Amino acid sequence: MDDLERLEIEAQPPPWQHDGAGGMAMDDPYDAHLLDDAENGDFVAAMRNAAPVLLRYLRAMHDWDVAMRRFEAEQKALEASGQRIEMAWAIEQCDIVQRKLDAATQILREEFDFGGES
């Protein structure tokens, strides 16, 4: 993770775009020019290699967010209708949300070394 962050900081700033001719170009308000592979190649390779894990993590966090919003919406609907929220239902919903968050966190623990930070 530290290497990805360092490479991102060192790379030429976005936006980048494909030039349609097999290269990458950096677009700025004054000029579009090719990106230097010698300067940015390590970044491109590192991000390509990290993309599957980052996308899995993003998907897992999205799944957690959807579960959390669903729980909140159902709870609000119950409250708005004056229904009693059953403890068993609330615990079950919390468990679903927690499992989604645990799945996302597990990806970080398995795939990225944060130097023992928790």
So what's the pLDDT on residue 40? 72
HEC profile of 49-97: HHHHHHHHHHHHHHHHHHHHHHHHHHHHHHHHCCCCCCHHHHHHHHHHH
Q: What pTM value is reported for the model?
A: 0.72
Look up residue 91 and give its amino acid.
I
So what's the pLDDT on residue 88? 97
Kindly give the pairing relationship between strand 16-18 and strand 32-34.
unpaired
Q: State CA 44 to chain mean position distance.
A: 18
Better-predicted residue by pLDDT, 70 or 4: 70
Structure token pair of residue 103: 């799945």
Domain segments of the chain as ranges: 2-111
Cα distance between residue 31 and residue 46, in whole Å:
27
The mean pLDDT value of the chain amounts to 84
Q: pLDDT tens, 59-69?
A: 999 999 999 99
